[in-house]
Amino acid sequence: MVEDELGRDLNDIKAEEKKLYEEYKRKLQELRKVKTENEAVGQVFTKGLLPIYTLYILVQGPTNGNDISHQIGKRTNGFWIPSTGGIYPLLKKLEKQGFIEGSWDEEKKSQKIYRITNKGIEEFEHKKELLKSKIEEALEVFKIIKEDLYD
């Protein structure tokens, strides 16, 4: 009788462990999906808009990577503050393409100041023109989806 109860108790424990493990796997999968979706949305900004917006900031005047991130955050009311971990590789790439030039600050040797080149201004104007209709279309799509979902 005692052995029978122990056997049932062990089976109940194993069944509960299995149930908890299945729930853990399901929740982990949900978290991974959310993370992937968030990364995809972030990539639209980082890969699509960050290069042109960085050039826009540099059209306003020379500055460093931290300030570019800060200015974007300020201009977007804090809704989008790119990490410097995304800004500096982009600056390196833009510099390699000849769109910007970087030079070390004379007073603060630890700070690299970036300036847009003539080639960079041409690229900025070209990309700005290309993206205008796409940004307008995206805004319309977002407006429709917002109205459908929330109004």
pLDDT in tens, 17-72: 888 888 888 887 877 766 655 554 444 454 578 999 999 999 999 999 999 999 99
Q: What is the pLDDT of residue 43?
A: 46
Mapping DSSP to helix (H, G, I), strand (E, B) and coil, where does residue 13 land? helix
> CA distances (Å), 1 to each of 15, 33, 133, in order?
21, 48, 78
**Dihedrals phi, psi of 83, to nearest 5 degrees:** -75, 150
Higher pLDDT among residues 25 and 143, named by residue: 143
Domain ranges within the chain, ordered by starting residue: 2-150
User: Which residue shows structure tokens 């089976």?
Assistant: 11
Q: Which DSSP letter does residue 109 get?
A: T
Q: What is the pLDDT of residue 40?
A: 43
pLDDT in tens, 85-120: 889 999 999 999 999 999 987 776 678 999 999 999
From 35, 13, 16, select the one nearest 24 (Cα to Cα): 16
This prediction's pTM = 0.66
Confidence of residue 83 (pLDDT cuts 50, 70, 90): confident
pLDDT exceeds 70 at position 140: yes
Q: What is the pLDDT of residue 44?
A: 46
As its CATH architecture, domain 2-150 has Orthogonal Bundle (1.10)
Q: What is the pLDDT of residue 4?
A: 59
